[in-house]
Amino acid sequence: MKAGSRLERVLLEGRFAITAEINPPDGADPETVYQRALPLATVVDGINATDASSANVHMSSLGVCAVLARAGYEPVLQISCRDRNRIAVQGDLLGAAALGIRNVLLLTGDGVQAGDQPQTKPVFDLDSVSALRTARVLRDKGQFLSGRKLDCPPRLFLGAAANPFAPPLEHRVQHLAKKVEAGADFIQTQYCFDVPRMREFMKRVCDAGLDRQVHILVGVGPLRSVKIAEWMRQNVPGVVIPDEVIARLKGVASDKQRLEGKQLCIDIVREVREIPGVHGIHIMAYRQEEQVQDIVEESGLLPRGAAGK
Note the pLDDT tens digit of each residue in 218-249: 999 999 999 999 999 998 878 999 999 999 99
pLDDT tier, 78 (very low <50, low <70, confident <90, very high otherwise)? very high
- The CA distance from 181 to 66, in Å, is 29
The count of other CB atoms within 10 Å of the CB of residue 141 is 13
Is residue 309 scored above 60 in pLDDT?
no
Q: Which residues of 29-49 are buried (b: 16+ CB within 10 A; e: fewer)?
A: ebebbeebbebbeebbbbbbb
Express as a percent the part of the chain with pLDDT over 70.
98
Predicted confidence at residue 132, as pLDDT, reads 98
Predicted confidence at residue 264, as pLDDT, reads 98
- The CA distance from 56 to 45, in Å, is 27
- Provide the 8-state DSSP code for 150: P
Is residue 306 scored above 70 in pLDDT?
no
Note the pLDDT tens digit of each residue in 157-208: 999 999 999 888 889 999 999 999 999 999 999 999 999 999 999 999 999 9
For 167, phi and psi rounded to 5 degrees? -75, 155
Q: Which pTM value belongs to this model? A: 0.95
Which H or E run contains 219?
Answer: strand 215-220
pLDDT tier, 25 (very low <50, low <70, confident <90, very high otherwise)? very high
Burial of 16 (0-12, 13-18, 19+ CB in 10 A): buried
Is residue 32 scored above 70 in pLDDT?
yes
pLDDT tier, 286 (very low <50, low <70, confident <90, very high otherwise)? confident
CATH number among 3.40.50.2300, 3.30.830.10, 3.20.20.220, 3.40.50.1110, domain 6-223+267-298? 3.20.20.220
Domain boundaries, the chain: 6-223+267-298
Is residue 308 scored above 60 in pLDDT?
no
Predicted confidence at residue 114, as pLDDT, reads 81
User: To 5 degrees, how large is the angle CA 268–CA 271–CA 274?
Assistant: 145
